[in-house]
């Protein structure tokens, strides 16, 4: 039987988008019909933020779950789906402002009663983010675990590198001593390949008529993706 999935997401620095493109491609490979929609901001924001002050300010305001205004979702997507994948980054331990706005607006309308699988892209911390999603989406059938992709660089370089990157300082640039400890911002090629495999597994599970609740997403995908794939492949 045909299965239809909507991938609805926000991405500031393309990390969630890259992950979701790969998950979606994997699902298509398995035979699922996939549609993507990226939330658009009413006032577009530039990445990187470009200054230390702007970065501090963004982190402080997002901590208090400041909403960021978004456009309406595409009317063509307001239909029934077998699954809605809701993806976005963690901002100061919380879902990002555009995702909070989406949920405020749609939790009793489009998202109500939908089966929702959250996908989170973050540096390292997602627990609070997921807790907020579960609370806000109480009228939806939210999956009991999110799929989480974390940045893979060791601390303290990961946190420092993220801050410098947001402030527009190019910490991964080869001309910089810091780049020895911080060669890349965001997710690795290996993580993207695992996202694709995960998409194949989710797609195959849906097409086999099985509930995706049987899949185990408990390992953050950056830590041991091989383990995750092994578990789900049986």
Ligand X SMILES: Cc1cc2nc3c(=O)[nH]c(=O)nc-3n(C[C@H](O)[C@H](O)[C@H](O)COP(=O)(O)O)c2cc1C
Site of interaction with ligand X (CB under 6 A): 11-16, 58-59, 62, 89-93, 121-125, 162, 166, 186
To ligand X, the closest distance from the beta carbon of 125 in angstroms equals 4
* 14 versus 179: smaller Cβ distance to ligand X: 14
To ligand X, the closest distance from the beta carbon of 192 in angstroms equals 12
To ligand X, the closest distance from the beta carbon of 174 in angstroms equals 21
* 91 versus 217: smaller Cβ distance to ligand X: 91
* 60 versus 79: smaller Cβ distance to ligand X: 60
* 62 versus 205: smaller Cβ distance to ligand X: 62
To ligand X, the closest distance from the beta carbon of 233 in angstroms equals 26
Q: For residue 56, what are its two tokens?
A: 């501090």
To ligand X, the closest distance from the beta carbon of 207 in angstroms equals 28
- What secondary structure, in 3-state letters, does the chain show? CCCEEEEEECCCCCHHHHHHHHHHHHHHHHCCEEEEEECCECCCCCCCCCCHHHHHHHHHHHHCCCCCCECCCCHHHCCCCCEEEEEEEEECCEECHHHHHHHHHHCCCCCCCCEEEEEEEECCCCHHHHHHHHHHCCCCEECCCCEEEECCCCCCHHHHHHHHHHCCCCCCCCCCHHHHCCCCCCCCHHHHHHHHHHHHHHHHHHHCCCCHHHCCCCCCCCCCHHHHHHHHHC
d(CA 125, CA 11) in angstroms, rounded, equals: 17
List the one residue out of 26, 41, 148, 20 whose CA is nearest residue 84.
20
* 14 versus 152: smaller Cβ distance to ligand X: 14
Q: For residue 14, what are its two tokens?
A: 């393309």
* 13 versus 152: smaller Cβ distance to ligand X: 13
To ligand X, the closest distance from the beta carbon of 122 in angstroms equals 3
């Amino acid at each position: 039987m045909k299965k239809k999935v909507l991938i609805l997401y926000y991405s500031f620095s393309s990390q969630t988008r890259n992950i979701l493109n790969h998950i979606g491609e994997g699902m298509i490979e398995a035979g699922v019909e996939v549609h993507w929609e990226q939330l658009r901001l009413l006032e577009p924001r530039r990445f990187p933020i470009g200054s230390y002050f702007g970065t501090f300010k963004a982190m402080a305001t997002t901590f208090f779950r400041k909403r960021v205004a978004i456009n309406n979702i595409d009317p063509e997507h307001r239909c029934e789906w077998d699954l809605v994948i809701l993806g976005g980054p963690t901002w100061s331990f919380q879902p990002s402002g555009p995702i909070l706005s989406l949920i405020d607006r749609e939790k009793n309308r489009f998202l109500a009663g939908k089966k929702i699988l959250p996908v989170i892209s973050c540096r390292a911390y997602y627990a609070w983010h997921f807790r907020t999603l579960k609370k806000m989406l109480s009228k939806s059938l939210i999956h009991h675990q999110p799929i989480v992709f974390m940045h893979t660089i060791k601390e303290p370089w990961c946190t420092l590198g993220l801050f410098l990157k947001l402030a527009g300082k190019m910490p991964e640039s080869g001309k910089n001593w810091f780049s020895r400890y911080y060669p890349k911002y965001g997710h690795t090629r290996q993580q993207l390949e695992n996202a694709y495999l995960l998409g194949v597994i989710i797609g195959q599970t849906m097409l086999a008529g099985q509930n995706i609740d049987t899949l185990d997403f408990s390992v953050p995908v950056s830590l041991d993706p091989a383990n995750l794939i092994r578990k789900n492949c049986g």
